[in-house]
Structure 1
Amino acid sequence: MTNLHNNHRLTSIPAAAEQDGQLQQDLIDYVNYHISGGSLASLTEGAEEAEPALTPLLQNDTARAYRQECGGVITDMKQLGKLPGISQEWLNQLADTVAGLDSGKLRALAPQTTRHNRVDPYVNGPQCLDMLLGEIGKAERYIHLSVMLFFNDHSGNLIASELLHALERGVEVRIMVNYTVTALGYGQNLEVGQFSKIAGRLEQAGARLLDTFHSYYGAEEWAAKRKVLKSQGVPESILFLQDKVQEDVEVTGLNVIDHRKFMIIDGITSVIGSLNIGDQYTFATPIQEAPDQQVEGRPLGIPAKEEEWHDGCFRIQGAVAQSLNAVFHSRWLLLGGDHFDLASPFYRPAVDYAFGEEECTLFASFPGNPVNLIQQYILDVITYAADETLIVNPYLIDQAFWDRLGEVGPERACHLTICNPLLVNDHPTNRAAVRSNMYVPFCNGVSFYDYSATERFSHWKIIYDHRAQAVFHGSYNINERSACHDYELGLLVKGRSLAEKVKHMIDYDLSVSRKITDKHEFFKHPWLHPSTYLNKATQNYT
């Protein structure tokens, strides 16, 4: 297979950027966003005239293939200088264009990379719960927590109690939760949905909380709110994010959900993953352990109870915390939270952030996003698969994903493996979407494993890319809501050690899943099956 790295010499860094680290970062941000199909013309003054001359080199198959060979994102000027077809004249022109753009907006739109992080993977409730309680217990300055669901059950109250202890120690606590969706509870139990009871105790102890259900303002309300925020010093690089949300809701009429799940502690430690807080996710019941199957001394296995879900998260020590804090800060202000200075030593302590060897790139998407970089990353992972690639996701509904997978030929399809809880699933049309779209990819060589063989539901959302020795993990479902209407977050981690650990975890899941071997389990002619039409009718809402 052609190695695009070896076919192109390194183009020199433009003189204007040679001593300007911010301009170098802006160049990288612009290129990553543009390769994914994003246009800055409608978002940033100064891009309209120059962008047409830059687009042909960036928005093409060769540029995407090269970036995927780099691991899914361009992270430094050396990689940028080897972009196929690049010339010194083109790079100089790009530097001139980017120098006039809003750096804040570029950072908000493009993936952000930090280095020398230490990343540890956790899977299943007991491991995740113990880690979360331990990290909250070590907090000295502040805790910023954003999660969609926070249930009033056993593990939810354990975490709430630890947060109360932190408040007693003088730790600042800010929390964003969707109160309304949490109130639906689970298992026909509305009592566990009463997060307001937990919130009351936390607020009485000094915590600040916001309800993310109210992520959209009426047109007049937002116009007034925007003026107030601007007068308070909130920059356009934050305000324009809400502008896009407003446009999305006005056009589609759909509600928006903050589906992100992350926490920052003291500006040094952070947690990101696909789990919410509650006994479905962070259950304390011991798992059914697999003999001799461990990662870092933590056993692998499956949840012991049917109502407990298989899920996971990453704990990161390092500068990723600052990237996540910027995401938290923008949402907090737009929801009406108190103002705090991200750059102050309290929130950004002066410590050595070299904790490990992992390079981490944070992807954030939001409703009304002109292009969803998480979706584009996933599409490129399957389009340019050149080695073992494992995709674990609970909901495979996004038609763009299926259309692209159906176009992947046998020479790449043979590298792709998907693991999904096909039968044991809380989504009404996941099975219909898979059966209606998997026939051609299966015949081309894509492997499919059904985690339902464990009689448990897997809510874990993770991708392993062997060629890049990279792992992508976060809140993103492969469905239309995550692609178009919800706030999502994902972390791309490059590093052989972590990749091998996650590969071991996924391999165990595959070993307890059922590998589908008969193509007739999928629909050759999906239009003949009523469930296909149910999926089509509901894919934007469920």
Structure 2
Amino acid sequence: MLAAIHIQWVVGVIFIILYSVTILGLVLVIIAENRNPLKTIPWVIVLLLAPGIGLLFYFFFGQDNRKQRIISRRTYKRIMKRPQEGKLPQDVCTVPGPYQPLVTLLSNNNQSSLLYGSDIKIYTNGADKFKDLLNDIQKAKHHIHFQYYIFCDDEVGTRFKDALIAKAKEGVQVRVLYDDVGCWNVKNSFFDEMQEAGIEVYAFLKVAFPVFTSKVNYRNHRKIVVIDGQIGYMGGMNIADRYEKGTEWGIWRDTHFRIIGKGVHGLQSAFLIDWYVISKKLLNDKIYYPPTPIYHDDNIMQIATSGPVGQWRTLLQAYIFAIANAKKYIYIQTPYFLPTEGLNQALLIAALGGIDVRLMLPKRSDTRSANMATHSFIDEMVKAGVKVYFYEPGFLHSKLMITDDALACIGSANMDFRSFEHNFEINAFVYQPSFAIQMKRVFMHDMHSCERLIPSRWLKRPIKQRLAESFMRLFSPLL
């Protein structure tokens, strides 16, 4: 009896020692990686409160891949060579003065060229976007590059699958990239059917447990279509029924661009880099970057990508710069608002400095935990003078920022830790006053469908609710 108790005591002591050493080791690893302290604290809390699950979550979601390279510098330069060939000197393009440093920033940290003379069509609902995209697919002559975070096997997804198969049978080169985690619920047979029809199909960072556990947290959230190097689509919409039919509680409000002209070359290079990473097939022939006419003399844009690898957080830096340099107003739409400390401070400083800062969020979210954490950040915003609007007709999934009637930015990136730190994203920065004003009208139109948050009422929320929201905020870097 005593011997058994002694053995149990020894085993218990050994477990405690091993567990303590493991936790200490992980903390040392995180410190050595020079992580943001705000991201270190949540992991320590998770590991202390839930040892087994916390350890499992860390190995799946907590590893830092910033120093890894998913593509060699030589290959990256070869792919980027083509869009750079048609690059115009910055002094030829008239970018609003305050945004010249932003142009340089995106050029230095992302090799993003100024792309001149494009035409952009705006979509605010899935039905219009899907109709035009199917029509453009049917007219394709040489290639279709199709990349989505979510490509569902529902009614809308099947419509696009059949259209792509039809073009492949006509001899058009069709390449499809989808995110492995984003499409976890999609049957393998859906993609197998496309492969059997001659379409090249790859899953981005395919997860094969337990070997590639770190890849679960690093997802390709981009939405890119390029047709014959002349027509491109990008923005917030995936391929799924809900973008056309809405949700149980209302419409699905989103923003997407159709680009024709030079801007398509920025989308093409982003796709071909991802394509090489996954397929190891290098495509950089001139045929993928055909000459394009000039549609609008004053349309200048940069297509910028960002991801969890590499030294810089490109989109985060660009957002902070644009916010910090706004002089009149900053209008933002985002489905999730979980800002990094730098972004949070930039918005607070702008509002306190008298800039008209407006933040539009969905009144009802598809993610309860993220929504609770978002509410804790709103407290600071309204105290600083930010005007907050809750979109009521359904789910607001649009990712839009407009500043000073001069800059409009849309893409796949949400205003949260996950988009800026973990996901592969793509955004367009458009330096055209008339276009910024057009996007401002879209924002103003949406305001008519919003409930304006009244600070005095908001700050009187029940203490129990506020504590729960503050607790979820601790985990905002992980949501």
TM range (shorter): 0.7 to 0.9
Q: Bigger CA drift: 107-116 or 507-516?
A: 107-116
Q: Which residue number in structure 2 is paired with residue 280 of structure 1?
A: 242
Runs in 1 of length 4+ with deviation above 6 angstroms? 41-45, 105-108, 215-219, 523-528
**Unaligned residue ranges in structure 1 (runs of 5+):** 1-40, 46-66, 81-104, 185-192, 222-245, 286-302
Q: Which of the residues 233, 258, 269 maps onto 2:220? A: 258
Q: Which residue number in structure 2 is paired with residue 120 of structure 1?
A: 121
Deviations 1:181-222 (A, max 9, x none): 3233xxxxxxxx32x333122111111011014289999x9x
Q: Which of the residues 415, 425, 439 maps onto 1:502? A: 439
> SS of the counterpart of 2:99?
coil
Taking the aligned partners of 2:205 and 2:252, their CA distance within structure 1 comes to 24
Q: CA 1:214/1:477 → structure 2, altered by over 3 Å: closer, same or farther? A: same
Deviations 1:453-511 (A, max 9, x none): 22x1111111112342x210001011111111110110011223322322222111111
> SS of the counterpart of 2:114?
strand
Tell me if 1:333 matches 2:276. Answer: yes
Question: AA paired with 2:262?
Answer: A
Deviations 1:302-352 (A, max 9, x none): x58636521121011112222222221221111124332x1x232222x34
Q: Which of the residues 60, 66, 70 maps onto 2:98? A: 70
Task: Say whether the 8 Å CA contact 2:374–2:473 is kept in structure 1.
Answer: no
RMSD: 3.3
Taking the aligned partners of 1:369 and 1:490, their CA distance within structure 2 comes to 17
Task: Say whether the 8 Å CA contact 1:128–1:312 is kept in structure 2.
Answer: no
User: How far is 1:528 from its partner?
Assistant: 6.3
Tell me if 1:425 matches 2:365. Answer: yes
Tell me if 1:541 matches 2:463. Answer: no
Q: TM-score normalized by structure 1?
A: 0.65
Q: CA 1:256/1:424 → structure 2, altered by over 3 Å: closer, same or farther? A: same
User: How far is 1:75 from its partner?
Assistant: 4.2
Q: CA 1:517/1:69 → structure 2, altered by over 3 Å: closer, same or farther? A: farther
Task: Say whether the 8 Å CA contact 2:408–2:436 is kept in structure 1.
Answer: yes
Deviations 1:10-66 (A, max 9, x none): xxxxxxxxxxxxxxxxxxxxxxxxxxxxxxx99999xxxxxxxxxxxxxxxxxxxxx
Tell me if 1:365 matches 2:306. Answer: yes
Task: Say whether the 8 Å CA contact 1:438–1:523 is kept in structure 2.
Answer: no
User: How far is 1:440 from its partner?
Assistant: 3.4
Q: TM-score normalized by structure 2?
A: 0.73
Task: Say whether the 8 Å CA contact 2:179–2:220 is kept in structure 1.
Answer: yes
> SS of the counterpart of 1:361?
strand
Deviations 1:393-424 (A, max 9, x none): 000012323233233353334x1111001x41
Q: Which residue number in structure 1 is paired with residue 378 of structure 2?
A: 438
More helix by share: 2
Question: AA paired with 1:518?
Answer: P
Aligned residues: 387
Taking the aligned partners of 2:108 and 2:464, their CA distance within structure 1 comes to 42
Q: Which of the residues 259, 265, 279 maps onto 1:322? A: 265
For 1:109-508, what aligned pairs fall within 5 Å after superposition? Answer: 109-184=110-185, 193-194=186-187, 196-214=188-206, 249=214, 255-281=217-243, 283=244, 285=245, 306=249, 308-340=251-283, 342=284, 344-349=285-290, 351-357=291-297, 358-400=299-341, 401-413=343-355, 415-421=356-362, 423-451=363-391, 453-454=392-393, 456-468=394-406, 470-508=407-445
Q: CA 1:217/1:382 → structure 2, altered by over 3 Å: closer, same or farther? A: farther
User: How far is 1:254 from its partner?
Assistant: 6.4
**Unaligned residue ranges in structure 2 (runs of 5+):** 1-66, 74-94
Taking the aligned partners of 1:108 and 1:140, their CA distance within structure 2 comes to 35
